[in-house]
Copies of this chain bind each other. A is one copy, B any other.
Amino acid sequence: MSNSEWKSVGNGHLEGPFPLPDLDPSKLTVTLSETLKLLPAPETLVFGGTMTDHMLVASFDPVSGWSAPEIKPYYATNTFEGMKAYVGPDGAPRLFRPAKNMARLARSAERLALPPFNTVALLELIKKLIVVDQRWIPNMEGYSLYIRPTIIGTRSALGVSASDHALLYVILSPTGPYFRTGPKPISLLAAAENVRAWPGGTGSHKVAGNYAPGFLPQRIAAKQGYDQILWLLQDADRWKVTEAGAMNVFIVVDREDGDLDLITPPLDGTILPGVTRDSILSLAKAHTAGKLTLPGISTNQRLHPHERAFTIADMDLWLSEGKLREMFAVGTAAVVAPVGRVGFQEDLKKPARDLVLPAYEGGLGPVSRAVRQMIIDIQEGRVEWEGWCVRCE
């Protein structure tokens, strides 16, 4: 039955082979968002960059016609993943630890009461899509195909209950290196004020709603000359470091015994369990266990990975003692981005105080340089490690 057999005649029903409900404002349900966003300063607006609190949604199928329209919180149920495909030396596209992304997408969907799906099946389908659009992957170091699987809840019952219909789609976008001219230290603004606007509850899931609240602080950061926000979590009078923008963070700290501690905040529910984060922890462990050698790091240089909270005050102290060697942000887009300075601002009315990290030639310190190179070598198929790289064929 084709849609062109129906016609809207304005009487509440589409005219056609049999009558179907038309779009009907009298059936509108309005579900207001419980947490309204802060309004950005008008002069900071970028075209299409900020969405309001609500959206209008209706769906059509040829059995029930147009659903009752809804005004509901923007992106109330929507989850996505970010993955990359790389071309290997043999010309075949490869995915980096894709099962991790599939598992995380399934967890996020479950958290939002979106329907479950076979993660192995989805991965197989994504591989087929990549093969179809394989010509889009630039065969150059640092270039890849960004993969964005998304699930949207497309119809909900009355009021606040979960969507029972869903749309899953995967789109692909060719992408170049995050840093066009090689890694450059980024600056972070650690703004205490903004934590309060951060909604709890879904921080460890890749949920679209998590990102929107970051737009305003991001602009505040940009206005003060910082690249990204460093997200904090208040713990009594101390400020725990959580994430930088949409990336996980690591610090490298000297130990008394000459070894190095590699510390990242623990997965306590506020931290996105990043695939790059997990990979770096694994690679550091493998290096210290002698199972692989990180490029440029002596086999005698032991790295001790820790998933452990640290605060702005800790960083301040370790810097003053000369023990804080490196800080870096990690994620699928940038892989590893060195951090050059962190502005800490307990009161938004006063200027930020900068914590300045040691500078290195080429931007990256020895540990961040080593883990970045190793991950890229694995992603692009030059190094084989524990089956992390999966060929699409």
A346 within 8 A of B: no
Task: Decide if A174 is an interface residue (CB 8 Å cutoff).
Answer: yes
Q: Which of B4, B115, B140, B168 interacts with A42 by CB under 8 Å?
A: B140
Inside 8 A of A6's CB, which chain B residues have their CB? 115-116
Once the chains bind, are A23 and B122 in contact (CB under 8 Å)?
yes
Check A174–B50 contact: CB distance below 8 A: yes
Stoichiometry, copies per complex = 2
A125 touches B28 (CB 8 A): yes
Contact B42 A333 (CB under 8 A): no
Complex Cα gap A53–B171 (Å): 9
* A117 interface residue (CB < 8 Å to B): yes
The interface centre, meaning the residue of A66, A116, A164 with most chain B CB atoms within 10 A of its CB, is A116
Nearest-Cβ distance from residue A138 to partner chain B, whole angstroms: 4
A174 pairs with B71, CB closer than 8 A: no
By the criterion CB–CB under 8 Å, are B54 and A132 in contact? Answer: yes
Does A121 count as interface, using CB distance less than 8 angstroms? yes
Interface residues on A, range: 35 or more
Contact partner of A39 (CB less than 8 A), chosen from B61, B118, B119, B135, is B135
For A106, the closest partner residue in chain B by CB is: B8
Separation of A117 and B191 alpha carbons in the complex (Å): 47
Q: Answer whether A164 and B62 are a contact pair too, CB < 8 Å, given A25-B128, A51-B172, A176-B45.
A: yes
Q: Which residues of B contact A113 (CB under 8 A)?
A: 2-4
* Residue among B25, B39, B50, B132 making CB contact with A173, cutoff 8 Å: B50
Q: In the assembled complex, which residues on chain B have CB atoms less than 8 Å from the CB atom of A74?
A: 171
In the complex the two chains form, what is the Cα distance from A320 to B151 in whole Å? Answer: 57
The answer to whether A117 and B22 touch across the interface, beta carbons within 8 angstroms, is yes
In contact, B22 and A121 (Cβ under 8 angstroms): yes
**A120 → chain B, closest Cβ, in Å?**
7
Identify 26 residue pairs between A and B in the complex whose beta-carbon atoms are under 8 Å apart, listed by A's number.
A2-B164, A3-B166, A22-B121, A23-B118, A24-B118, A30-B128, A42-B140, A42-B176, A45-B143, A45-B175, A45-B176, A47-B176, A50-B173, A50-B174, A51-B172, A52-B133, A53-B132, A55-B169, A56-B129, A58-B125, A58-B167, A58-B168, A58-B169, A60-B115, A61-B61, A154-B167
